Structure 1
């Protein structure tokens, strides 16, 4: 075989890379020289941690390296996101990202040590999980329309719970309040467990909460009236969407994505995206979807980046009149 001219070498490497990406059986196109860290900005044991560990295990073969999950909890996930934002953009440090460190964090005015969008490279929109609309068991309603009618006509504000000021469950209810003209009042809790107790006792009248929390709780504590997905959620097939219940176009998701530091080379982004897309198709992951309360998304970095911009705009609009102060 003849010597390849220097001017031809980049073209050959590019051709080999494209061929490798096109073949699902090809060996990794890029050789990572050390294990890849997937930073999960939450404590071990939660649904996000489980999701990250499943994906890390299934994605490793496509990357030619072990994917090591590193739990970096603290400050609502900001500490973990900061570690990724400051890492080298070589693809060996990744973030299991959620709105709590990115779009919602910026929308509610958190003092972040990074730019919520510009400090990261969007790689893949991994999954979505709707939230469920719950009512107290003694509420004289049986569907979304009945609850909305009661909340509009209430003489005194109906107290609703969230899992904390500025969280998904707070902002989603405030969005619904504004769109549907509801007379409700926010009561923040630290997590869902205490809120469930007060909901069961009737001290709280309604709340949004994550689907995994519903699936693992005593159903006698509440009435599940609706979900915020576009179509009915597989794990709750008998529960209508809010769109079906009379709120046109109302969707909301607790999304999870994969990002890395800003400035990652496109070829590195492409290989990581391919490996994690394959991981989401693996039986190891597919078999756990219902218990995790998620559906696969799989949108690429460009689509994920556009979604992040839309998500930021939405929650900025919702949060603006609330005058949230956290820092």
Structure 2
């Protein structure tokens, strides 16, 4: 009996030691992380909101970690190409994704087939900024308010066109949401990015569009008319401009949260460390200035808050896309 008891005790102590060893080994990467360069894949083209936000975070993280953060643009398929590369990367914290929230909250409903499951294959790390959709019209339109715009569109059914950054982009979805809520008809003209769409709006090739921020300077210069903000709240950058909800379209909210993601399975300690450091970077004057310059606003959250925000957005946008019948394939 004594031999059996002592043997059982030895086994228990051995198991405890093994478990402690595993826990200690798991904590080492988080304590030392990062020990090599980090690759930050931006799933949209250079010069856009995701690129500016991603490079801003990369510069700050590089200084904080004393490591090189390599930014790699992999645009295409409404963010799916870059996100797929991260979803299939090793979950060690050395490959990260910067993308719009639409890649993980809208794409699963826009595409019949995807090579990865955003909800299962990506881990939210840190929110970065809220990119607001600004409703802008060409000065040739005889309207100065949302109410006048809706009345004009209804009086000219099908004669107006609107540009977007591409099929399925957040700006496209905002346009479709406006058509639904305002009960108007307009032709969607997709572009390969927001910049060419904005250029054609300035040239009068399209009549209106939801702009993600770069158009603000043109509105201030009188080259465009800024009618409203398509977010739940007014933009701190143009606080005098009403929201669409305040302008007669209750509940209108088409803003997008851009953030950083990691492959599923990345150690929680590394995710938490990245979240803390990214939040610090985003509070610096340099980051605030860079992100405000593109018309976006800083939005920092804890990991759990970001996960919950994405879950709510997925449910909300999924319901809208299904109701609107929007499909990209």
Q: Report the TM-score range of the alignment, normalised by the length of the smaller protein.
A: 0.7 to 0.9
Where does 1:209-224 land on structure 2 (aligned, <5 Å)? 209-215=211-217, 219-224=221-226
Q: 8 Å contact 1:31–1:64 — kept in the other structure? A: no
Pair 1:295-2:308 in alignment: no
Change in CA separation of 1:222 and 1:299 when aligned onto 2, cut-off 3 Å: same
- CA-to-aligned-CA distance 1:269-321 (integer Å, 9 cap, x gap): 11111111111112221232321221111112222222222222233223225
Q: Aligned partners of 1:31, 1:163: CA distance in 2, in Å?
A: 37
In our comparison, the structure showing a higher alpha carbon Rg is 2
Which string of whole-angstrom CA distances, capped at 9 and with x for unpartnered residues, describes residues 45-82 of structure 1?
33322221221121235445332222223333322211
Task: Give the direction of change, closer, same or farther, for the CA distance of 1:38–1:216 in structure 2 (3 Å limit).
Answer: farther
Name the structure with the higher helix share. 2
The SS at the match of 1:56 is helix
Given that 1:160 and 1:187 are in contact with CA atoms closer than 8 Å, whether structure 2 keeps it comes out as: yes
Q: Would the alpha carbon gap of residues 267 and 58 (structure 1) be closer, same or farther in structure 2, given more than 3 Å must change? A: same
Contact kept in structure 2, 1:30 and 1:268, CA below 8 Å: no
Deviates more, 1:72-81 or 1:288-297: 72-81
Q: Does 1:306 align with 2:313?
A: no
2:93 aligns to what?
91
Match of 1:22 in 2: none
Q: Which region of structure 1 is more displaced relative to structure 2, 126-135 or 95-104?
A: 95-104
User: Are 2:41 and 2:98, in contact at CA under 8 Å, matched by a contact in 1?
Assistant: yes
Tell which deviates more after alignment, 61-70 or 257-266. Answer: 61-70
Q: Deviations over 1:15-54 (max 9, x none)?
A: x99xxxxxxxxxx834333222111123333332222122
Cα separation, 2, equivalents of 1:203 and 1:84: 37
Q: Could you list the runs of 5+ residues in structure 1 that have no partner in the other structure? A: 18-27
Unaligned runs of 5+ in 2: 1-15
Aligned to 1:251: 253
Contact 1:38 1:67 in 2 (8 A): yes
Quote the Cα distance in structure 2 between the aligned partners of 1:105 and 1:12: 37
Secondary structure of the residue aligned to 1:161 is: strand
The normalised TM-score by structure 1 is: 0.83
The RMSD of aligned alpha carbons is: 3.0
What does 1:1-327 align with in structure 2 at a 5 Å threshold? 6=17, 29-63=31-65, 65-109=67-111, 111-156=113-158, 158-192=160-194, 194-196=196-198, 199-200=201-202, 204-215=206-217, 219-327=221-329
Deviation per CA, 1:86-144: give whole Å up to 9, x if none.
11111111111213432222121253211022110111111111011012212222112
Task: Tell me the SS of whatever aligns to 1:125.
Answer: strand
**Of 110-119 and 153-162, the range deviating more from structure 2:** 153-162
TM-score by length of structure 2 reads 0.82
Instruction: Point out the more displaced range, 119-128 or 199-208.
Output: 199-208
Question: C-alpha separation between the residues in 2 aligned to 1:48 and 1:116?
Answer: 17
Change (3 A) 1:221 1:283: closer
